[in-house]
């Protein structure tokens, strides 16, 4: 983007947008220009007081300087974006506990033994596989995490 060809990755979702870029003041000015152009073209106003700036391997002074130039607040890592922990370590087992707990929470509300086999299979295919697939589309998990998810599925299937 821009004359200098700044590499910038945008992940928009509804009214949330996540910008990923290298640390430099020119990138911050480019993001500010992008947001200003969005305001002019769409007629929507960006609420910078609700906006947050987080930095990976960025010192606190630089991060605060960048946040002041964007007129927004700073945010510490890790944080959640669309239910996914950004800045966490996907190699650790505790990172995946949220996914396993979310699957278990869904299973508690459904009583597998009261459903037919076809109903359990349909429920597993539509609901319980969607949760891990969402997380696995962003991060690679260990074999132990995958086997624990599969064992939860098997226990529900065979009730």
Is residue 64 very low, low, confident or very high in pLDDT (cuts 50, 70, 90)? Answer: very high
Q: What are 36-45's pLDDT values in tens digits? A: 888 888 888 8
- Give yes or no for a contact between 74 and 63, defined as CB atoms under 8 angstroms apart: yes
**Contacts for 128-132: CB closer than 8 Å, 24+ residues apart:** 128/103, 128/152, 128/153, 128/156, 129/153, 131/99, 131/102, 131/103, 131/106, 132/99, 132/103
Read off the pLDDT of each residue in 51-60 and give the average, rounded to a whole number: 88
pLDDT of residue 112: 66
Over range 89-101, report the average pLDDT: 86
């Amino acid at each position: 983007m821009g004359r200098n060809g700044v590499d910038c990755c945008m992940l928009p979702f509804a009214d949330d947008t996540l910008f990923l870029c290298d640390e430099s003041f020119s990138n911050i000015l480019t993001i500010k220009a992008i947001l200003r152009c969005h305001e002019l073209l769409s007629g929507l106003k960006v609420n910078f007081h609700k906006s947050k700036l987080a930095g990976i391997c960025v010192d606190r002074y630089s991060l605060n300087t960048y946040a002041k130039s964007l007129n927004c607040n700073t945010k510490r890592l890790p944080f959640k974006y669309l239910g996914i922990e950004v800045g966490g370590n996907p190699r650790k087992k505790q990172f995946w506990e949220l996914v396993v707990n979310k699957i278990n929470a869904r299973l508690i509300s459904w009583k597998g033994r009261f459903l037919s086999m076809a109903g359990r299979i349909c429920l597993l295919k539509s609901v319980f596989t969607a949760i891990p697939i969402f997380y696995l589309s962003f991060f690679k998990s260990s074999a132990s995490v995958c086997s624990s998810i599969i064992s939860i599925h098997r226990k529900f299937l065979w009730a």
